[in-house]
Structure 1
Amino acid sequence: DSASITRLVEHLRTLLRSALAQPSLPVSSLSMMDEAEQSRVLVEWNATTADFPADACVHQLFSAQASRTPEALAAVSDSGSLTYGQLEARSSRLASHLASLGVKPGTLVALCMERSLELPVALLGILKAGAAYVPLDPSYPRERLTFMLRDSAAPVLLTQHSLRSLLPDGPAVICIDAQEDAFSGTASPASVSGAEHPAYVIYTSGSTGQPKGTVVSHRALANHMAWLLSTFGLTAADRVLQKTPLSFDASVWECWAPLLVGAPL
């Protein structure tokens, strides 16, 4: 189109000027962008700074939202729904149970679940206990699941009863949909994670070798959510579909962004 042709002509003109000014350089070292375009690409388009609570964790931000809108819908599925108050209470009970098993700040907790109302309960419960979640996709080959559990050394695995037979032996297993009534306590444990602690660990595809766990801190997650909410203007009037498997990083914003602004997931 006309705009593209105009841009290409400007690039060619800039390239020729660069060649005349520095004839000894190879073409690959010459610039095709003038100062205005370089500034636009390198500075203007990268102006993604957003204010965010640098010392806060997303589960703390969720709890603050739950205290503001306890009756609002937080999660909806075919099996029913949870309000913010209910999600806050259920995840706190799970966090207390995890703490009783020795889970603490810095611990990695594996998570292998299908989409359900138990999923946000599990995510929040793990973070409230101070741990980081390690998502395992139920569709992965058993060998890959075995490797990820061994490599992460997660001492606890949260799953659903229907998936238990797919998972290798190793960590202590909690079937959250079958055991939730046994969780005691109403408050999150006193020992909570800091912004520098891991929030989650997502493994790479392994297409170039063994999968590698990528560790993301609470501060980085809070920063990402602050930018996303600022850029896309998500509000409590929206609804977000959690469609991406937890093993892909796009799931991170789908899960957390709505829960930080009072929207239903």
Structure 2
Amino acid sequence: MTLPPVAGVRYIISWQIPRNETPGKIPDSLKRKDIDIFSHFSTGVSRNRNFALSKATADYCLISDDDLIYSERSIRQLFDIFRDNPSVDIYAFKAECQMVRNMPSYSFDLRHPPRFYWPLEFEIAFNLDSVRRNNVKFNELFGRNAPTLQSGEIAVFLHQAFKRNLTGRYFPLDLCRHPNPTTMEHMALNEGVIMAHGASIALIHPVTWFPRIVVNSYRRSRQLDSSFVRMLKLMLKGCIYRYRHVSSDGSERRYSRPV
């Protein structure tokens, strides 16, 4: 991964080490003054991101991943967008990746996105003070290596932010390149990914969730050449999981945490 040195930018690497595993060595390329490395013993991508955010000190933070390619130019453009849009709390950009998506060439309110648009986690930045003041976090029941739901973490993060009256806006800035398949691509038929999709729909659309589940199950079964019945059952299973373990604002229900 490339981390271009840019004045005014610091990088935080959250080094997540599964319990009972021996930590490896820090590469020499990461031994720089603008890079801070913090390690912790845990699993789950959402827990890892929450740990990284607990160490952040900047005015604005950009969520990243370990296989992205940035340019100094694109990072500098972020400063201009932050400066020119001080009333925005959550910012979304676009990354070049293998997956075909609807990425508009115009700016819009993230609370009212165009049809078929959804952001990836590493396309999101935010005002750190706004996020902390409103106690917006990643729900650790969603995302890779969560107990059951293996994706959906950024959709739930945004849902929680907007439920707490944060503002959000998409800017058509080419932020970075993601040369490898995303989780949505190489794990599209994974049971936990399908369940997470159903759980996210039930959370974000509490009134119209059932017809949306049916339509999405049909569409995904056609796209992935998979069984519609299996897709529907797993999405409904994800909906039940959501009602048992996730509150309407996207946070975990305190009385119930799956092991």
TM over 0.5: no
TM-score (norm 2): 0.20
TM-score (norm 1): 0.20
